[in-house]
Amino acid sequence: MRKTVVFIILIMMQYQLQSQDIIKISADLELIRISNNTFMHVSYNEVPGYGRVAANGLIFIEGRKAILFDSPWNDTRSEVLITYLEKEMGLKIKGFVPGHWHEDCMGGLGYLKSRKIISYANSLTQHIAVEKGLPVPDHGFSDSIILNLGRKEIRCYFPGAAHSTDNIVVWIPSEKILFPGCICKSADARNLGNMADGDMVSYPGTVEWIIRKFPDAKTVIPGHGAYGGTELLTHTLSLAGNK
- Residue 10's pLDDT is 42
DSSP class of residue 145?
E
5, pLDDT greater than 50: no
Residue 195 has pLDDT above 60, yes or no: yes
Q: For residues 162-178, give the mean pLDDT.
A: 98
- Asked whether the beta carbons of 222 and 181 are under 8 A apart, the reply is yes
Q: At what angle do helices 231-239 and 203-213 cross, to 10 degrees?
A: 160
Comparing CA positions, the residue from 127, 124, 159 lying closest to residue 144 is 159
Please give the span between the terminal C-alpha atoms of the chain, in angstroms, as a whole number. Answer: 18
Higher pLDDT, 50 or 218: 218
Would you state the pLDDT for residue 242? 59
* Chain segment 62-121, per-residue pLDDT in tens: 999 999 999 999 999 999 999 999 999 999 999 999 999 999 999 999 999 999 999 999
All domains in the chain, ordered by first residue: 2-239 (3.60.15.10)
d(CA 148, CA 153): 5
Per-residue pLDDT band at 15 (split at 50, 70, 90): very low
The model's confidence at residue 21, banded by pLDDT at 50, 70 and 90, is: confident
The pLDDT of residue 9 is 41
Of 5-14, 36-45, 157-166, 223-232, which range is least confident? Answer: 5-14
How far is 127 from 136, CA to CA, in rounded Å? 8
pLDDT attached to residue 8? 45
Return all residues near 155 (Cβ < 8 A) that are at least 6 apart: 144, 145, 146, 147, 170, 171, 172, 173
**Whether residue 4 has pLDDT greater than 50:** no
Lowest-pLDDT range of 11-20, 38-47, 70-79, 100-109: 11-20
Residue 119 exposure: Cα atoms within 13 Å on the Cβ side: 29
Q: What's the CA gap between 71 and 55, in Å, rounded?
A: 9
| pTM beyond 0.85 | yes
Compute the average pLDDT of residues 33-53: 95
User: Which helix (H) or strand (E) covers residue 16, if one does?
Assistant: helix 2-18
* Catalytic positions, written as ranges: 100, 102, 104, 163, 182, 185, 194, 224
Instruction: Name 4's Cβ contacts closer than 8 Å, sequence gap at least 6.
Output: none
Q: Containing H/E element for 78?
A: helix 75-87
